Amino acid sequence: MARRKRGKPIHGWVILDKPYDLGSTQAVNIVRAIFGAQKAGHGGTLDPLATGLLPIALGEATKTVPYVMQGEKQYEFTVKWGEATDTDDVEGDVIATSECRPLEAEILAALPKFTGLISQIPPKFSAIKINGERAYDLARAGQEVSLKARDIQVDQLELVEICSKDAAKFTITCGKGTYIRSIARDLAQELGSVAHVTHLKRVKVGHFNQSQMISLEKLREISHSGAELSECSDILISVETALDDIPALAINQSEKNELKMGRELIPQGSISAITGEVVCLHEQTLIAICDCDGISLKPKRVFNIV
């Protein structure tokens, strides 16, 4: 006999405003417990010292996590000039100093070099695996960590404010795999100085933005009030929101049944104009993500949302 899953079958996305000094996995576990959900995951790690938007998937939304992780991300961050740390943020030990404090005009002139497709070496204190072990575990153990450069996409990098002669605030819009700590480190080097990140907040991931964020305190408050969190549409966002970039196709009951069984089907209506991935909906309920060749639909993710 199959073991019964613990928790409730709750499906959707919670856009958490992650607090400072809380790991992403810890945050997921807390939100899962608040909702009493059977299953949970997140759409892109935030460092414990970073704050802001952490998309948390509950139930069948976990099947759409890869689509969210591929989405565009936006951050706000503050850089402190003149001190480099071994972690490239405030958690680490100072390993280098510089008297150089870049001027606004110099910063603005350097920013274009950090936009577009650029090469970046991740921080040695990162979650990247080296021979099966996390880089940060090796670094903390005092082992030498050597990470290879990787290509990343930066769509926009802007100077927001010169906070003081020692600090400046920026915003960045970038793709998957971008380390903001490395951006700060490399920008300082380009400007003849050293630096580290003192504040980092994520404000956008894919189709999710900071207007949708909710704090742990607010979630707990609503939960303790006796309200059913899973019925609050402004808190639990629909699973298919993560798939807004993919064309949608309405299907009938018999087609729904075929896809639910994992079977390829030729739908009644013409789909000759559709190629690639397509989201199949029955009466506004997400049924499957399919591969479409203009003739048939081949299910690649089937959802069990009541």
14 class by beta-carbon count within 10 Å (0-12 exposed, 13-18 middle, 19+ buried): buried
CA distances from 246 to 59, 64, 89, 278, 294 (A): 21, 12, 37, 6, 15
**Phi, psi (degrees; rounded to nearest 5) at 183:** -60, -50
Question: Is 47 tagged catalytic?
Answer: yes
Return d(Cα 48, Cα 219) in angstroms, integer.
Answer: 20
Confirm if 172 and 77 have CB atoms less than 8 A apart. yes
Q: How far apart are CA 278 and CA 270, in angstroms?
A: 14
Tell me 2's DSSP state. P
Write down the catalytic residue from 17, 21, 47, 89: 47
Four-residue CA torsion sign, 38, 43, 45, 50: negative
* 3-state secondary structure at position 152: strand
Alpha-carbon gap, residue 176 to 101, rounded angstroms? 30
Q: Residues near 91 by Cβ (< 8 Å), separated by ≥ 6?
A: 49, 85, 125
Q: For 229-276, where are the alpha helices, taking DSSP H only?
A: 253-260
Q: Could you give phi then psi for residue 299, rounded to 5 degrees?
A: -65, 135
Enumerate the active-site residues.
47
